[in-house]
Amino acid sequence: MFRAEADVLSSHRILRALSFAALAVTVLVGCVVNETRPLPKLEAVQAKQQIAEAELLDVAVQAFDANIPEAIKDNEEALDKRRIYPDVRKAESRLLANRLKTTLETSGQWGAVRVVPEGVRFVDILVSGKILESTGGRLELEVRAVDSVGRIWIDDKIYAGDADLGSYKTDAAMRARDPFKNVYVQIADDLLEARERLTTIDRRDIRQVAALRFAEDLDPRSFGGYLVRDKDGFIKVSRLPASGDPALERVEKIRERDAVVIDTLDGYNEQFSEGLSDPYASYRRTSREAIEKEDKARAQATTRTVLGAAAVLASIFVSSQCSGSDYNCQRIEDAVRYGGGIGGVAAVMSGIKKFEDAKTAAQEVKELARSFENEAGSQIVEFEGRSLKLVGTAEEQYREWRRLLAAIYAEETGVAPAAPRISPAGS
């Protein structure tokens, strides 16, 4: 009787000892579900009253730096590991700038808000940015904003946020709200906060300096003495042109035409952004799911492979708990060893399969990325009875426009193009 009870206890100990690894593997085979809380839906601060025209500042948002590292730009594997897909990044440089523009526009806090080529400089507020990370799950931007005076509003500040998953639920939800709208709202609110720190005179100076810098760039001989730099390096107005100055009136007409060219290029960007809106939203949603699947697969693969190997080793090397004459105990021990070995091998194979799933998910993102193309348009500019055709990218079109503009101005006024000179204060 006592012998039978001892055999039963010994068998129980074997079952517990040899089933531990298989049990651990079984537990870890299950899916891990991370609870996600909905993000608050931020909105940019809206203007509550009309802003005086003399203080209504225009904002130019440059197409963002796609930030494709030079050292690995031709290394597809290295780019894949960092989830950088050049075709997508190039499209995003305009798409994301356009998202920020829309956020600023709808706040009613600013004058004209445009996405501009790199060559545009003489504006009230110039915003530039760099894409640090952009996936369907997270966006991280480095942003800088400076006014025409040289005052820094945002100093290479990093704005980051996770996707609002509610925006991915339906196609209608994706069209209604960008999953990273909160990031753009934070930038817009920081710009507004910087503006509110300025006096009325400061804001008017920004507009005057922008206009005079444009004039000086075009005709430094006529407008070279109106701006100076103070001891802090900021550009200030030292004196104003006389009212009715013919040279000023001509430059103002040219600046209006320049604004039309910039508006046209901004319109191309708007069309480009609208055309890619739905496929880009679908790409983001799918890439987020693929990346989530990839990350989960890699984590599960490692866990399953390690624990599976442990189960196999445990089933092989665990010491026997049975006496040589206890055949019943040995049969149980052999069965458990076999089960543990089979379970461990299955876990190892499952881990390998998960690694393959991860590769498939990564490839899915890469193939989606290749579907984007950034097409440039062209425009015809009418100026002083001449028709000027501008072709190429937005940057190329604007560079050509400025070159032609300077040449025409020099031809008609006899003023040779020259670099602008802003004198230091007191000179």
- The closest of 197, 190, 203 to 44, measured between CA atoms, is 190
Per the domain annotation, does 191 fall within a domain? yes
Contact between residue 409 and residue 247 where contact means Cβ atoms under 8 Å apart: no
Q: Is 344 helix (H, G, I), strand (E, B) or coil?
A: helix
What CATH code is carried by the domain that includes residue 252? 3.40.50
**Per-residue pLDDT, 411:** 78
The residues of the chain scoring below 50 in pLDDT are: 1-9, 11, 14-15, 17-18, 20-33, 312, 318, 332, 336-338, 341, 362, 372-376, 426-427
**E strand or H helix at 311, and its extent?**
helix 246-317
Contact between residue 39 and residue 164 where contact means Cβ atoms under 8 Å apart: yes
Per the domain annotation, does 181 fall within a domain? yes
Per the domain annotation, does 218 fall within a domain? no
**Per-residue pLDDT, 236:** 94
For the chain, what is the radius of gyration of the CA atoms?
33
Amino acid residing at 95: L
Per the domain annotation, does 6 fall within a domain? no
Q: Is the pTM of this model over 0.85?
A: no
**Tens of pLDDT along 251-266?**
898 899 899 889 988 9
Domain of 133, in residue numbers: 53-204+245-290
Residues 6+ apart with CB under 8 A from 140: 131, 132, 133, 134, 158, 159, 160
Calculate the dihedral angle through the C-alpha atoms of 69, 71, 77, 82, rounding to the nearest 10 degrees.
-30
**E strand or H helix at 214, and its extent?**
helix 200-218
Q: What is the DSSP letter of 264?
A: H
Calculate the dihedral angle through the C-alpha atoms of 101, 402, 195, 207, rounding to the nearest 10 degrees.
-140
How many domains does the chain divide into? 1
Per the domain annotation, does 73 fall within a domain? yes
C-alpha span between 300 and 351 (Å, rounded): 7
Which residue's structure tokens are 């458990």? 336
Per the domain annotation, does 29 fall within a domain? no
C-alpha span between 345 and 307 (Å, rounded): 10
Per the domain annotation, does 176 fall within a domain? yes
Amino acid residing at 162: D
**Per-residue pLDDT, 33:** 45
Per the domain annotation, does 156 fall within a domain? yes
